[in-house]
Amino acid sequence: MNILVTGAAGFIGFHLSRRLLADGHFVTGIDNLNDYYDPRLKRDRLAQLGVHVRVDVDPDRPASRSYDQAQPESTGPVGSHTSGNFRFVRMDLADRTAMDRLFEEDGFDAVVHLAAQAGVRYSLQNPHAYIDSNITGFLNILEACRHHPVSHLVYASSSSVYGANTSMPFSVHDNVDHPVSLYAATKKANELMAHTYSHLYGIPSTGLRFFTVYGPWGRPDMALFLFADAMTSGKPIDVYNHGKMERDFTYIDDIVESITRLIPKPPSGNREWNSEAPDPATSFAPWQVFNIGHNKPVALMEYINELEKQLGVSAEKNMMDIQPGDVPRTWADVEDLFEYTGYRPKVAVQEGISEFVAWFREYFEK
């Protein structure tokens, strides 16, 4: 297949692109290489895919493991680079003209849309970045799929859409109308926008609610990376809600396996969908959503203890109140995913943290 992966220099996008290439597909990856976190990590991910690009870095900013979270902006000129079956195009989702031209020239079979402005806490500081990327950018993807039809649009949603829900485990059949962050609201909006385009224009679309993804080459703003960075630098770690948190930590390989199984299985519409008792997970239109999580919540303190063991370092902990936009617990019901794909995420946190620590040490030693 000829597959477009947006956010290809990002954490999930990189791993997915590598898997699709290994499976023999042609992959076009796009990314604007913004500096929400250190763009050198994005550059180095692309190098693993055989593409070498320049990134602009402020010389006055240190080559730190976790970057200052500045206002995201595109770095460097638009350009195209090719290596084997992988083509990388540096471009921004908000560039509607460039997006339409890309679709017209390449004729994609499927699209996996992973590019977004991520981060719950950051949405409190820079809300406009989330509208520009997550709403306007997604609209440009939908319009491109409308005018240049694809067999399947797979896009990233988030477990954050469950918001104020406390019924566990989170089910795709639950109502998700009470987000507690702008980031979550944009992801819920993406699901609604996709449904509208599936209904109006017949675009088969699948939304994926990811649950706390972690692993090698992960994002520096995520807990595991932040903890490892601080602990190996002799600095304290910030532990929110005084450690009384649980997360359904999901290893990157489980995310990638789930996506690759879903790409060739576009929805065709649920013939049993009842408009008088509407199911939030499916539709009469070719539209559906799935949770992708490990289905086994882990206490935050247990997660930290495992990292301490793997690093051989005891962390100094700053116990702090829960942050606005955060929720104390997440837990994914993945039965629908299993029934549809035959796959259930399976990598335990002990194995996942071990793999991350091995990469972390090797990467920063280099």
Catalytic positions are 183
Instruction: Write the CA distances from 192 to 53, 158, 213, 218, integer angstroms.
Output: 35, 13, 23, 28
By CB atoms closer than 10 A (0-12, 13-18, 19+), residue 5 is buried
The number of residues making up the chain comes to 366
Instruction: Write the CA distances from 218 to 37, 157, 210, integer angstroms.
Output: 11, 18, 14
- Distance CA(18)–CA(29), nearest Å, equals 11
By CB atoms closer than 10 A (0-12, 13-18, 19+), residue 309 is middle
What residues have CB less than 8 Å from 249, skipping those under 6 apart? 211, 212, 214, 294, 298, 303, 349, 352
Instruction: Write the CA distances from 43 to 10, 37, 109, 315, integer angstroms.
Output: 10, 12, 27, 30
- Distance CA(264)–CA(39), nearest Å, equals 32
Closest CA to 14 of 49, 51, 54, 65: 49
What b/e sequence results for 15-25 when a residue is b if at least 16 CB atoms lie within 10 Å of its CB, and e otherwise?
bbbbbbbeeeb
**Any idea which residue has 């980031």 for tokens?**
183
CB 208 within 8 A of CB 155: yes
What residues have CB less than 8 Å from 185, skipping those under 6 apart? 179
